Structure 1
Amino acid sequence: MNFPIRLAILISLVTGVSMAKISSKQINTYMAFGLPVDPANVRTLVDLDLSYALSSTLTEWSDSRELVAGIAKSWEMPKKNEIKFILKDRLMWSDGSEVTAIQVVKSFERTKKDHGDSLKSLFDQVASITAVGANTVKFELKVDAMSSGVLTKLTEPMYGLVFVNDDGKIDLSKTVGPFVLSNATHEALALKQNKKWYRYHAGMAEVVSIRRPPAGDEIQDSFLRDEWVNIMTSSSLVEKSVNETFEKKMFSIWNRSLDKIFFLSPGSKLANDDGRKFFKFLNKELDRSVLTSGLSGFSLTQQFFPSGYVLFDPEFKKGLTEVSLPKQFQTRPIKILGVSSRLNTRLKENIKAAIKKAIGIEPEFKLVQLSDFEKARAEKDYDFLAGALPVNDPNVEGAMGFFFGLNPPIIPDAGVDSLAFSERVSKAKALPSQSDRNLEYRRIFSDATNHGSIVPLFHYSTVVIAKSGMDLSAVPMSDETVAFSKVKFK
């Protein structure tokens, strides 16, 4: 599946904290967040970060990427299609009340009711979720529990426990996550430390203050100018001069390996034969070196996943056939949908130049805020999107469900039965071994690339930059993001 991490005065206004009480252990950051905040609604990396902050999952990944217990103390599989989770002893909500199994069940029921269409990769495998006594939650599955991937699926934060009121609505002022949501307005969010969290530690932030990124400004420039903001999530894909400035100021920098793909994907208008021919043409003719001119921190690619990831295909062959540019794209500018914070000025100009070089006409852009992207993606007034996604998820089935399972899918089908990717993903998930599933997933991505459903361009990295007084050294490079709970203070 990039998220930025925002003011002493604003905190005093929004949360009621006086200026004299502003904590020295306070994260101030920028984020293009959406409202209402919902840990189960994860469409962007900003959503992911908030989800990690405001909920906790039954299972989770250790720092060494081993599957371990989360809010569950343990689990067992007493029957072929059954998993039982035993909750941790004295597991508490932020208000000190004890968590019960029935509350866990209500949380899953609410998630399925409100977001089930986007979370089919779990719920399509589940027959029922019930409480057994006060501290045991039973999952009855439609498939074999051992090979289902449910245990790894449940590490994803959208399946984290949230408190559900009697009216079926969530209440994020009461959580089992590292933070609670103490205030939310269109301009800002305020999170407060949850001392009842099962992994609470004294070094974590007491307050997280979030503001929207300044409009019409490069976020890196705002970070350098604004004394209030002290941590920022960015990317390695910046102009070389910006990287040099960060290094000179000796900021604390957390830099992932190549963990994101920048790609082109057809919108609903191009999910047809002409659109696929256009994408095959682009994949063959687009000059990728023009796309990255003047930028640093990238690796050009022909396939979706980077080397080292389990779905990287060492035998991938770019099997594109000769195809001419369809006439409709020779006479009009194409419209590209993108997120304003993901397309810095240099990258946007590079994309214009590369496409003009390939088809002879400069494209137009429709740029939206990250929080509005999913709504814009569902509309039909653009030709294709230029986007970025994480490509390092240890939960392979979860990643496949995200790439092909959204409505509309990020990677659409390619027109004939053998290229119905969402159906092929569902069939692949039923294969008995992980190696068999991964082999079919690689084939699906090869077909999607070679038949005009995706154009991978380059890989780049997540970068988190913190100013003086903050310590990111405890955050493993295997993490998807720098969780607020793992930021320490010097």
Structure 2
Amino acid sequence: MRKLSKLVLAASVALGVATMGMSAAAHAEALVRIASPYPATTLDPSRSAAAGNIETFGQLYARVLHRNTETGELEPGLAEKWELSDDRLTYTLHLREAKFSDGSPITADDVVFSFERVRSDPQSALPSTFGAVESFTVTDPKTVVVKLKNPLVSQLGQFEMWNAGIVSKTDVEKRGEQAFADVPVTSGPYAVKEWKPGEKLVLAPNANYWRTGYPKLDATVELVEVAEPETAAAMLKSGEVDVMREVEWSQAADLAATEGLDMRMEDSHVIYTILLNNSRAPFSDMKARQAAAYALDKKAITGIVTTGLANPANTVLPSGLDYHDKDYAAFAPDMEKAKQLITESGMAGKEVKIPVTAGQATQQIALFMQAQLEAIGLKPVIVNVDVATWWSDTATAAYDATPTWWTNELTDPDTAVRWAICGACDSHAFNTFYNNDRVNKLTEEGSRETDEVKRAEIYREIARIATDEVAQIPLFDAPFAVAYSTRLKNLKLTPAMQWTLEDMTIEE
């Protein structure tokens, strides 16, 4: 659910076909290349929430449940069946016969080991995936019992999260975590053929994947890091790559008109937003935050930045999530109201540090921010930073406001609230340091409530409170802009930022 990180590793790593447990036939007869500005910086599924890594984890690691990419429903994965106790506190997972890419069996020990790395390891990027879990227990080589501290309605979905992929306990312990992270034994549809950090990750079909007949296409897949959208578009047009991830809004019309290309606006749970640092002036004052919300004309920003391809957001939660209140009235542009609130807040004349990363959308939004915040009496200063500095600045509260985006892999809003709004949860409300006791209490109530009507009202109240108090300034709900070669069939990027590569075929 997260923004990208570009901590580029120095070394290049490769894995032989024999190590991957692949036959000679797995040397692909076809090649598919995907260009993305989001790099893979680690192949360890528990260690990063960066966009490029999330996309990669879905290809390398199978989960105990599998999401049907057509219906969105959860289906058996490595667990061929499961039961939930009457008190909703105990899940029993029954594993199928399955193997890792090196041919070793996937056992309950591997599942518990993988889950514990997410839940309790200090290096875990998102421990809240299993935050409600009291214990994981192996009862036999193919059975895992998961006991919860309290009922969690979204728990089944959490078993399918990107960081819940199953890794080999034996491999990690034998070779060490760094060696594993560089050249992993995998459980998903693909294994690593070659990795050149900062350049490309090359995948080949995993002959031991549990889904018989998948991947459908015997092809090598290259995930190519291309930072500049102009370069990626030129490579796509020339046939040097087959897919372009993160098409700039201004490029969409041209690519849509190019023969042999399929330009799509795919469903996502992405929301572009402005983070406000609630922990220091000026935005520690609610009136100053509300002034900023009145000053920023999100409809105008959306229209210009996205060329009309996205929709203005009306709450701090993405519109694609369950229980979204589409009728809620958001802040309408009102410069006079904004000036009045700044005066009342006593924050007029305060400097606003705005760190901004490269990228057409964030750069454009920052310029809007600068102009409109200056017009109400603040002193905005744009500071161009790299992604690592952006993360450092926001995590340590060394900023005042910044444009960014985030997403939620599930349609259930629980994880979104815990990531972006709940001050008592994982990420300091996505580094805004917003903290409302009522929201924190509702977060826990919403996660346990099974009545759909009551649950809907809880999440609508959370969204109303956080929007009114300006935990963030929501700007627009954005689809994934992806361009494909028309020769590729059954390939898409899902709202969970997962490529459907195992379903892909090629039309010659």
Tell me the TM-score normalised to structure 2 length. 0.80
Q: d(CA) in 2 for partners of 1:458 and 1:173?
A: 38
- 1:212 maps onto 2:225 in alignment: yes
Q: Report what 1:87 is aligned to.
A: 95
Question: Aligned pair in 2 of structure 1 residues 393, 242: CA closer, same or farther (>3 Å)?
Answer: same
Q: Is the 8 A contact 2:366 2:382 kept in 1?
A: no
Q: Report what 2:157 is aligned to.
A: 152
Q: Is the 8 A contact 1:271 1:414 kept in 2?
A: no
Structure 1 unaligned spans of 5+: 5-11
Equivalent position to 1:232, from 222, 228, 244:
244
Q: Report what 1:450 is aligned to.
A: 468
Q: d(CA) in 2 for partners of 1:203 and 1:470?
A: 12
SS in 2 for 1:99: coil
Q: d(CA) in 2 for partners of 1:409 and 1:23?
A: 47
Q: Report what 1:43 is aligned to.
A: 49
- 1:101 maps onto 2:119 in alignment: no
Q: Is the 8 A contact 2:278 2:284 kept in 1?
A: no
Q: Report what 1:249 is aligned to.
A: 259
- 1:430 maps onto 2:437 in alignment: no
Deviation for aligned residue 1:252? 2.3
Q: d(CA) in 2 for partners of 1:362 and 1:86?
A: 56
Q: d(CA) in 1 for partners of 2:268 and 2:117?
A: 35
Q: d(CA) in 1 for partners of 2:405 and 2:101?
A: 35
Q: d(CA) in 2 for partners of 1:259 and 1:219?
A: 27
Q: d(CA) in 2 for partners of 1:453 and 1:376?
A: 18
- 1:175 maps onto 2:186 in alignment: yes
Give the alignment of 1:316-331 within 5 angstroms: 316-318=328-330, 323-324=341-342, 326=345, 328=347, 330=349
Q: Is the 8 A contact 2:41 2:53 kept in 1?
A: no
Question: Aligned pair in 2 of structure 1 residues 131, 123: CA closer, same or farther (>3 Å)?
Answer: same
Q: Report what 2:411 is aligned to.
A: 394
Q: Report what 1:195 is aligned to.
A: 207
Q: d(CA) in 2 for partners of 1:426 and 1:117?
A: 22
Q: Which amino acid aligns with 1:206?
A: A
Q: Is the 8 A contact 1:40 1:51 kept in 2?
A: no
Equivalent position to 1:303, from 275, 296, 315:
315
Q: Which amino acid aligns with 1:310?
A: D
Q: d(CA) in 2 for partners of 1:385 and 1:331?
A: 16
Give the alignment of 1:345-360 within 5 angstroms: 346-359=364-377
Q: Report what 1:281 is aligned to.
A: 291
Question: Aligned pair in 2 of structure 1 residues 82, 486: CA closer, same or farther (>3 Å)?
Answer: same
Q: d(CA) in 2 for partners of 1:453 and 1:213?
A: 33
Aligned residues: 469
Deviation for aligned residue 1:135? 0.7
SS in 2 for 1:283: helix
Deviation for aligned residue 1:268? 6.1
Structure 2 unaligned spans of 5+: 5-11, 18-26
Q: d(CA) in 1 for partners of 2:129 and 2:320?
A: 26
Give the % identical residues.
Answer: 17
Q: d(CA) in 2 for partners of 1:92 and 1:140?
A: 26
Equivalent position to 1:408, from 428, 432, 437:
428
Q: d(CA) in 2 for partners of 1:16 and 1:129?
A: 34
Question: Aligned pair in 2 of structure 1 residues 76, 202: CA closer, same or farther (>3 Å)?
Answer: closer
Question: Aligned pair in 2 of structure 1 residues 366, 406: CA closer, same or farther (>3 Å)?
Answer: farther
SS in 1 for 2:208: coil
Q: Is the 8 A contact 1:301 1:459 kept in 2?
A: yes
Q: Which amino acid aligns with 1:368?
A: D
Deviation for aligned residue 1:173? 2.8
Q: d(CA) in 2 for partners of 1:412 and 1:262?
A: 15
Q: Report what 1:127 is aligned to.
A: 134
Q: Which amino acid aligns with 2:204?
A: K
Q: Report what 1:9 is aligned to.
A: none
Deviation for aligned residue 1:280? 0.8
**Deviations, residues 334-373 of structure 1 (Å, cap 9, x unaligned):** 222344246365555444444444547554033323x765
Q: Which amino acid aligns with 1:400?
A: V
Deviation for aligned residue 1:408? 3.1
**Deviations, residues 419-478 of structure 1 (Å, cap 9, x unaligned):** xx345412432334344233222211211111121111112210221235322x454876
SS in 2 for 1:409: helix
**Deviations, residues 396-432 of structure 1 (Å, cap 9, x unaligned):** 32232322333332174646644xx345412432334
Deviation for aligned residue 1:139? 0.8
Q: More deviation in 26-35 or 94-103?
A: 26-35
Deviation for aligned residue 1:95? 1.6
- 1:440 maps onto 2:440 in alignment: no
Q: Report what 2:59 is aligned to.
A: 53
Question: Aligned pair in 2 of structure 1 residues 395, 102: CA closer, same or farther (>3 Å)?
Answer: same
Q: Which amino acid aligns with 1:43?
A: A
Question: Aligned pair in 2 of structure 1 residues 439, 366: CA closer, same or farther (>3 Å)?
Answer: farther
Q: Is the 8 A contact 1:293 1:350 kept in 2?
A: no
Deviation for aligned residue 1:198? 1.6
Deviation for aligned residue 1:317? 3.6
- 1:161 maps onto 2:143 in alignment: no
**Deviations, residues 29-53 of structure 1 (Å, cap 9, x unaligned):** 2343253332123423322211211
Q: More deviation in 65-74 or 184-193?
A: 184-193
Question: Aligned pair in 2 of structure 1 residues 254, 42: CA closer, same or farther (>3 Å)?
Answer: farther
Deviation for aligned residue 1:207? 2.3
SS in 1 for 2:474: strand
Equivalent position to 1:139, from 133, 146, 157:
146
Q: Is the 8 A contact 1:192 1:206 kept in 2?
A: yes
Question: Aligned pair in 2 of structure 1 residues 308, 79: CA closer, same or farther (>3 Å)?
Answer: closer
Q: d(CA) in 1 for partners of 2:371 and 2:217?
A: 46
Tell me the TM-score normalised to structure 1 length. 0.82
Q: Is the 8 A contact 2:342 2:376 kept in 1?
A: no
* Alignment root-mean-square deviation, CA: 3.5
Q: d(CA) in 1 for partners of 2:273 and 2:445?
A: 26
SS in 2 for 1:282: helix
